[in-house]
Amino acid sequence: MAANRSKSDNKDQSVLYVYRCPACGHRGEVHHEDDTHEGDAAVCSDCGALVTLEWDGGVQLAFSAPSYVQDES
């Protein structure tokens, strides 16, 4: 069944790397299958300049509406 995974499923299970282009200031991201690409060179998707990949850290923030407990006394 793994062969039926979509591209978005692969992104969900890959490691996210981010970069900020020193030439144009673009902030981008790249997905790799493992966590061995910290400091690797890549190319800015906007201007084509060389950038350095940084591990995103995998932190995700989730916000939800506060729940209220009604006092039944």
C-alpha closest to that of 16 among 3, 2, 35, 44: 35
Q: Give me the mean pLDDT over the 64-72 stretch.
A: 66
* Residue range 17-66, pLDDT digits in tens: 999 999 999 999 998 888 888 899 999 999 999 999 998 875 554 556 66
**Does the model's pTM come out above 0.75?**
no
- Which residues partner with 54 through β-bridges? 18
Top pLDDT among 69 and 31 is at 31
Top pLDDT among 40 and 68 is at 40
- pLDDT (0 to 100) of residue 10: 47
